[in-house]
Structure formats: structure tokens, C-alpha cells
Structure 1
Amino acid sequence: MTPDTVLFDLDSTLCRSTQDDRKLHAEAFARAGVEPFCTPEEVRAAATTVTDADTDREFFRHVFERVGARADEGPIDADALAAATVELRDPTAVEWRPGARQALQRARQHAQVGLVTNGTRDTQRAKLDALGIADAFETIVYAADRTEPKPSPAPFETALAELDAPADGALYVGNDYRADVIGAKRAGLTACWIPDEHDLDPPADPTHVPDYRFASPTELTTVF
């Protein structure tokens, strides 16, 4: 199927942070005055399970609460860790994921294109401006500001409604199995999964299977 509509995820699909994740992690704990009790990998794993945050600070607070509970740390100052993390993260410190610029250009030549991201408008717009693609999409859904976040079908359905596009002619491209593949399939879209180096594998018996799985965004050009 050649899609008439292509919706993209942003973080780790189109772009990557250029900040040193381990250095940022260590500095956040130092700034918050909390003894480190987890790794950046454990933080990333917990982040995929948070679906009820309206701000970046609230999101990271939930993340650290969950990591702390799993580590059986007892009471921790999750809000201080969240505040330090948000202060240290620079949303403009991003670069293209290799092959992503070409994939987006190809999609724009053959389909109407939108963006569906779980981040807040201010944070994600800063990334789009840094990449020079704030005007590259015919619709943008910042789920943290407008709908329930992925993997809820709501942000996908919102984007399709704004494009007046049917789900069965649409493709969603993302790197996160839980948020992107499950969310897209729940909304009735074709799902293209392009995991990045830090992404978790799907469960051994996944509920939803991606229609495409690529090693690089470059391979998306084979769909058209």
C-alpha cells in the first residue's frame, strides 16, 4: 500500500538529542542533592510507561517515582530530580537522525504529512525550529497539550481528522514500540517501526505487530 497520508513521531525518529545522556543524568542527581539510584537506561524504560503527564516536569516526576519504586528506594525527592532534569535539558540541542531528513522529504513528495508527538508544544516546537522544519507538516498534534498521549489512539485520530484523511490510507512512522506501534494500530493506521539504538524490543508475544520494521529512516523511501 502506498500511503496517502504519513504521520511522523519526532524524538528518536526524526531527531536525536546531542546532549550527553549520562552526563545530564549524573548532573541532575547532583543538582537535586539525591544519591543516584538508577541508570539512564532505567529512566528510559520507565519513561515509556508514563501516559498521564501534562508538563515536562510532571512527566519526569512520574518517571523518577516509578524508577524509585522499582529500586525499592523508599521516599525520594522525585520533584527535585524532575526540576533539575528539565532545567538541564536543552530542546534546541538536537540533530537529524541519519536518513530522517531524506525520509521526510520523500514523504512530502508523495503524501500529505503530519506530526504526532507526546511532548509539549513549547519543547517540541523548539526542536522543530532548530531542525528548520516547523512549517514542514500540514498538521501537528502535541499530545501533551491537546489529547491523551500515545499509545492512546486519540492523538492519531485528531491528526487524521484535521487532515480529513482515513486511517486505512495512513502510515505512522515511529521508533517506540509501545507508544508508536501500539498507538498507531489501535487507531487503525499502518505502522512503521524504526527503533533507535536505545529503544526497547517488543514483548516476545506482542499484541500489535508493525507492518514495516526498518533499521534506518532511509528505508522508508521503499514504501513509496
Structure 2
Amino acid sequence: MQFDSSTTALVLTDPQNGFLSPDGVTWELVGKSVEENQTVDHIEQLLGGAKSGGYEVFVSPHYYFPHDHRWEFGGTLEKKMHDIGMFDRTGPLDLASFNDSGADWLDRFKPYLEDGRTVVCSPHKVYGPEQNDLVLQLRKRGISKVIPAGMSANLCVESHLRELLEQGFEVAVVADATAAAQHPDLGHGYAAALVNFNYIAGAVLSTKETLQELAV
């Protein structure tokens, strides 16, 4: 893949406290992987590189509103997210208690994400972007190549990778700018994601490699 600021964008999934802060409700599951990959540092580096290079940045966030908790069924991790109040907000038009909550961005990311240029899409609701406006926002800006990063590797990042490929985008994943849960019964989510990244993506890059491409 050849990156070009007119056709290539960085896409971040769930760069939020619920996943990436030691105070987040999932830290017990994902913290080891986040620290091993230096995920927070790498996401911040990608944001800096993308902004410096004139690349568009899109965020596909994860929010749950009170009406979402009335769903009658869900998958294993989906139900867990509802049970622990992950990404909860008081309403789609209400920012009460939002600042510094699990649904908010990490403070380190805010200068980049709140610069007035970053495109914050409507929330995805399970793992993929099928239910939000990410694809529309990308196409409206003439983007044909995307670089996904963020959380979590085998869930939202992989689901975005798959759907964006199906939608006709070229996709290069940044393998060390994500992380995933490790669970004694469910397995090692990051290891599972890496296998699929290598099978599916147009390219699997490190943060260092991605920054070199963005700077060309």
C-alpha cells in the first residue's frame, strides 16, 4: 500500500478510558496486553504523525445509552460490556458525567481528537462499523485507504478491518497500536487477532513503519 494524505486516513476504534486507562472497567482483562504493546504510546504517536502529515483522522467510538441496556440478547463479551457499564452515557444528547468517564477519550489523546478537524463518527454498537456512519464519512472525503488502530484487536479493530475490506477500502492494520483481553477460559484475544490480521489485511505494520510511511 502506498499512503497519500489525500486518499488515506487513520481510523481509531474506541480510544477511550474504558479500555486504555488503568482505572477502566476492562483493565483487568486488557491491561497486560496494553502495556506489553505500549498501545497508548503508539496511538499517541500515530495521532501526532497523522496530524503532522496532513492525514485525516476518524474515530469510531463505542457508546451505550440507557435504551441499549434493554436489548434482550447478545454475545459473550457484548453482554459483559453491558453488565459492567462499559462506555455508558446518560443519553445521546446528554453529556452529564461524560468528562473523564469510561466513555471519554484518554486525556493524552484529547489535543488531537478535539482539534476541530478529527471526524468523530456516530457510535458503533457491537464491534463493526455497520451501524454507524464511518463508511459514509470516509467516502465523502474521498478516502480509499484506511489505517485502523485502537481497541480492541480481536473485536472492534478486526470487525472494522473486515467490513472496510468488504466495502472496497484498502486496509493496513497497525499491530502494536492495539491490544486485547487475555482470559483463562476464552483465550488470548491479541494472539487470535494477529493471525487474522496477517490473513486478511492488505498490510500489517508496526507503529514505527506506519510513521515512516506517513512521513513520506
User: How high is the TM-score relative to the length of structure 2?
Assistant: 0.51
Partner of 1:165: 141
Alignment CA distance shift 1:204-1:8 (3 Å): closer
Identity of aligned pairs, percent?
A: 9
SS in 2 for 1:152: helix
Give how far 1:142 is off.
3.1
Q: In the TM superposition, what are the counterparts of 1:178-193 in structure 2 within 5 Å?
A: 178-193=158-173
Residue 135 of structure 1 pairs with residue 114 of structure 2 = yes
> CA shift at 1:115, angstroms?
2.0
Quote the residue 1:218 is aligned against: 208
Aligned 1:20-35 pairs, distance under 5 A: none
Aligned residue number for residue 114 of structure 1: 57
Matched, 1:17 2:21: yes
Distance 2:142 2:164 in 1: 13
* Residue in 2 that maps onto 1:2: 3
Native 8 Å contact 1:150 1:180 kept in 2: yes
Segments of 5+ residues of structure 1 without an aligned counterpart are: 26-39, 42-94
Deviation for aligned residue 1:182: 0.8
SS in 2 for 1:171: strand
- Answer yes or no: is the 8 Å Cα contact 1:172–1:184 preserved in 2: no
Structure with higher RCO (Cα < 8 A, 6+ apart): 2
Q: State the alpha-carbon separation in 1 of the partners of residues 167 and 45 from structure 2.
A: 26
Displacement of 1:193: 1.6
Gaps of 5+ in 2: 31-37, 64-91, 93-97, 181-189
Aligned counterparts, 1:202-217, within 5 A? 202=193, 209-215=200-206, 217=207
- With structure 1 as the length reference, what TM-score do the two structures score? 0.50
- Residue-by-residue CA offset, 1:39-80 (whole Å, 9 max, x unaligned): x47xxxxxxxxxxxxxxxxxxxxxxxxxxxxxxxxxxxxxxx
1:102 aligns with 2:45: yes
Shift of residue 20, structure 1, vs aligned partner:
7.0
Q: Partner of 1:132: helix, strand, or coil?
A: helix
Seen in structure 2, the aligned counterparts of structure 1 residues 191 and 149 have a Cα distance that, compared at 3 Å, is same
| Cα deviation digits, residues 27-46 of structure 1 (max 9, x gap) | xxxxxxxxxxxxx47xxxxx
Q: Is the 8 A contact 2:129 2:135 kept in 1?
A: no
Within a 5 Å distance, the mapping from 1:36-51 to structure 2 comes to 40=29
- 1:142 alignment partner, SS class: coil
Pairwise CA distance, 1:125 = 6.5
| Structure 1 residue 202, shift from structure 2 partner | 4.1
Paired residue total: 150
RMSD of equivalent CA atoms:
4.0
